[in-house]
Structure 1
Amino acid sequence: MSVDEFSEMGPVDYLVLEFPGNRMTGEGLPLLLDLVERRVIRVLDLSFVRKDEDGTVTALKVADLDGDGELDLAVFEGASSGLLGEDDLQEAASVLEPGNSAGILVYENLWAAPLAAALRRSGARMVANGRIPAEDLLASLDALEAGTAGSDS
């Protein structure tokens, strides 16, 4: 990827999703495909690992992971930008409980690409970013509501 191509990219994020007991149902796959088809995101890398009970980590093929014979994730087979290396897979597996699997997804936020490119051209640079976990947001809203409800009395 050239510097010019990078300057037009949106922010890149990653997710490590743990599947207890190696159960990957594929329920989220249609939603992921929808995001890709609508050009909200672009999948740069998609990898899977399994952590055995003895702690051994095995990379899994992106294909029919649930064994039902359907296409499933084969649509992403070969989705590799080279951003994820063996050390990244090992690091992702380090947070897994033994007997579980994980999907590691690296994606570009295409929806934000025009804004990000314009900001880079103007000399702006990101100095911090983060994500608020849904549980924290819900707890804050509950606390706010409890405080508001108490002041109405």
Structure 2
Amino acid sequence: MSQNDDVSEFEEMGPVDYVVIEFPGNHMTGEGIPLLLDLVDRGVIRILDLAFIRKDADGTVTAVKIEDMDATGAREFAVFQGASSGLLDPDDLAEAAGAIAPGNSAGLIVYENSWAAPLARAWRRGGAQLVAGGRIPVQALLAATGG
């Protein structure tokens, strides 16, 4: 794919977000996988990159491959084998590791908000651009509302 093709593809995309999900005690369950797959199947999101890391008690960080997970984890996450756009690099993994506590693991997901692509394209055609964004964690909403 040429650089012009890459630019054209990006111009057609919706906003791209990332999340780092921490799993206490290095215990990754597949509980959320069916819900994540449902979002993908319905075209709400498109997974661009998926990676897993483990942070040992001494702070050592290791990338975890799906095939290196225990049998349950490997089975649950196998559907994402090879999900890689190249957007995540070692610096991103190190930054994510800084956000999790020693003795825990994390999943990193980079995803396109496919549902917003038509709106984003229309705004770009009109010359608009996103200049700020953010996310308010549920915990902050609960704290703000006394919940």
TM > 0.5? yes
The count of residues paired between Structure 1 and Structure 2 equals 143
Q: Cα RMSD between the aligned structures?
A: 1.7
Contact 2:66 2:74 (C-alpha < 8 Å) held by counterparts: no
CA distance in 2 between partners of 1:57 and 1:136 (Å): 29
Tell me which residue corresponds to 1:150. Answer: none
Tell me which residue corresponds to 1:18. Answer: 22
Gaps of 5+ in 1: 144-153
Residue 69 to residue 115, structure 1, CA distance change in 2 (3 Å): closer
Tell me which residue corresponds to 1:77. Answer: 81
Identify which of 111, 116, 128 aligns with 1:124. Answer: 128
Contact 2:26 2:105 (C-alpha < 8 Å) held by counterparts: yes
Q: Quick check: which has more Rg, 1 or 2?
A: 1
CA distance in 1 between partners of 2:15 and 2:81 (Å): 23
Gaps of 5+ in 2: none
How far 1:69 moved relative to its partner?
7.3
Residue 117 to residue 65, structure 1, CA distance change in 2 (3 Å): same
Tell me which residue corresponds to 2:12. Answer: 8
Identify which of 54, 57, 60 aligns with 2:61. Answer: 57
Residue identity opposite 1:87 in structure 2: D
Residue 88 to residue 70, structure 1, CA distance change in 2 (3 Å): closer
CA distance in 2 between partners of 1:111 and 1:35 (Å): 10
Contact 1:64 1:71 (C-alpha < 8 Å) held by counterparts: no
Tell me which residue corresponds to 1:98. Answer: 102
CA distance in 1 between partners of 2:125 and 2:83 (Å): 29
TM-score by length of 2: 0.90
How far 1:94 moved relative to its partner?
1.4
Identify which of 110, 115, 130 aligns with 1:111. Answer: 115
CA distance in 1 between partners of 2:76 and 2:145 (Å): 37
Residue identity opposite 1:107 in structure 2: Y
Tell me which residue corresponds to 2:39. Answer: 35
